[in-house]
Amino acid sequence: MRQFQNSVLDYKCEVAGEYISAPLEAAWAIEAMFFVRLEDLRGENVRFNARAQISVNGVDWIDEGTAFAPISAEGQYVIRLKHFGGWLRITGRLEGEDAHAIVTTNLVLKE
């Protein structure tokens, strides 16, 4: 039987500007999916840009290369990763005039 883990990295986190999710050690997994839910999206010309990052030690981070398409509406969004090494997180920025959102991030891992 395959192993499965669904972790809530951030729950209803208020974001205005930069966003960095909590990290999670994921070296045992071979598949990862980041789910991001945006709620209470406010402001003018609001856009959320986010991408996956990887780390060998959970301290030093580099961009993995996978990114969400620019998000400009409330809802739930997903990206999928493979070949990611030890630690995972997402980082991004909420852009726009008086931009505000509530962000929930889940990381689903499978072996």
The answer as to whether 60 is a domain residue is yes
The answer as to whether 62 is a domain residue is yes
Q: What domain range includes position 21?
A: 17-28+47-68+86-94
Residue 85 is predicted with a pLDDT of 80
Span 30-76, pLDDT tens digits: 999 999 999 999 999 999 999 999 999 999 999 999 999 999 999 99
Structure tokens of 23?
A: 């990290």
The answer as to whether 103 is a domain residue is no
Count of the separate structural domains present in the chain: 1
Nearest C-alpha neighbor of 18 from the set 89, 73, 80? 89
Q: Can you point out the beta strands (E) in 1-111?
A: 4-15, 18-20, 24-25, 31-55, 62-67, 75-81, 87-110
Residue 80 is predicted with a pLDDT of 97
The answer as to whether 6 is a domain residue is no
The answer as to whether 58 is a domain residue is yes
The answer as to whether 111 is a domain residue is no
The answer as to whether 54 is a domain residue is yes
Residue 64 is predicted with a pLDDT of 96
What is the model's pTM?
0.93
Q: What percent of the chain has pLDDT over 70?
A: 99
